[in-house]
Chain A
Amino acid sequence: MSKQLAFYVDSQKCIGCFSCAMACKNMYHPEPGVKWRQVYPLSEDIYPHHERAFYSLACNHCEHPTCLECCPVGAYTKREDGIVVHDQDKCIGCGNCVRSCPYGAPQYNPKLKKAEKCSMCWERIDAKLEPACVQACPVKALRIIDLSEFDDAEALHYPPGFPRFESLNPSVRFKLPRHPHVVRRNG
């Protein structure tokens, strides 16, 4: 497998503080309502405890990105390290990528009338820095991994609550939240 950078989301560590989403906003200043990274709370069907659990998600930089395939003007490219980059100069704002991505990664910018999405901070990656979201996480619940070298048998590709699209092969891996230890008082 060639190099494929990916997000590793550790839901066991994640406390749902939104620092990652805020760091992304501070970095790129998207328009109000436009979110490149979102923190999704897991429903009680998946994690039935008073403590809550979360998935912090942005673009998954899929191996076979539907945004890249469906874009009628070829505004998306995939770099050698697997990062999917959107070229706003080419974008005509048709919204087809926004409608097509099953993970809701591309967002429509109503001011520019163009699509935009997480770039995995490729400029920072090229400068040997971590993406803003990864750097901002106070509990180190977000990491960048290279799937060509990643070998963790416990990491999940499609945990409950995350859409399963094997044909796209999203470049993200998860660690599930640990269920709280139940202490029962006897007698």
Chain B
Amino acid sequence: MNDANYSLVLFTVLAQGSVGMIVTSYLCFRLAGRGEMPHVRREWIMAGVLLLAGLTASLFHIGHPFGAAAALTHGATSWLSREVIAVCLFGALTAYTIVAMRKSLPASLMLGTAILGVVSLVVSGAAYAPPSLPALNNASPIALFLLTAASIGLASKSFFGPKDDDGFVAQWLIFVLIASIAVRIILPSVWSSGGAVMMKTGQAWFASPVFWLHIVLLAAPIPFLQKSKALKPWMFVAVLAAELLGRLTFFVGTAATYQNIGHLF
């Protein structure tokens, strides 16, 4: 239906995954009552690398990437400008926190970075809710982006441990994956009973094999997690692939109002 905007697919999923990893890392660090652990810094470095990869990918959707810095200038009204500002600030604070972690874990700095990450995610959700896409011109992009961040962030713990956290993280991952699947089925179902353009969006999502593959990949880790409560690296790969395919559906399958001009709305 629309162009597959691969660079935006990569940017949004990787940046949201990065936020998810940092928020999960901070919450595990605080809620699980752990002290200093060397894996936390590795986790943050990995999140920084993901964000950097996402930001690099984002340049490829711009016709003139060398002018990208100008996108910081119209934050007064443009959600895209605000997104660029928020993500860059989040990246800068992540880098600073990683440097500060050489001596000890700076809890308040980690909390500030995690909060800024969530803010950048909400701003990003607003940037992808234009009036031309009635199905997304609401809070649904923010909800989808939050779920992406949570699922990738929790699944990433399979690489970073400690293994004592597995049961706690596995329970949350099961909850987030079920919530993700539910939201992704409910949204197009609601759209399918809406106006003409929303209905086309719902039908396009449900008719897409990519959409169903992403649902299957999201569901795949659930029975294993329920059985063993152990996180495995393949689960991260499955969740990341699912989120990339889901985002592809988000960009390709969402109908725009101008595609329906001349027909009843």
Contact = CB atoms under 8 A, between A and B. Distances in A.
B74 interface: yes
B70 interface: yes
Interface stretch (B43-51, B138-146, B201-209, B257-265): B257-265
Interface in A88-105: 90-96, 99-104
Given A72-B84, A92-B68, A100-B131, A163 B74 contact: no
A28 interface: no
B192 interface: no
Interface residues of A, number: 41
Interface in A65-87: 66, 68-74
A84 B132 CA distance: 18
A46 B264 contact: yes
A55 interface: yes
| Chain A contact surface mostly | loop
B257 A102 contact: yes
B29 interface: no
Interface of A: 40-43, 45-46, 55, 57, 66, 68-74, 90-96, 99-104, 108, 112-114, 160-165, 167-168
B73 A93 contact: no
6 contacts: A40-B261, A43-B262, A94-B61, A94-B62, A161-B261, A168-B131
A96 B259 CA distance: 17
Interface of B: 61-65, 67-68, 70-74, 77-81, 84, 127, 130-133, 256-265
A161 B265 contact: yes
Given A66-B131, A73-B70, A93 B262 contact: no
B64 A113 contact: yes
B71 A92 contact: yes
Given A92-B64, A93-B62, A55 B261 contact: yes
A163 B262 contact: no
Nearest to A94: B62
Given A73-B67, A92-B71, A163 B78 contact: no
Given A72-B71, A112-B63, A94 B263 contact: no
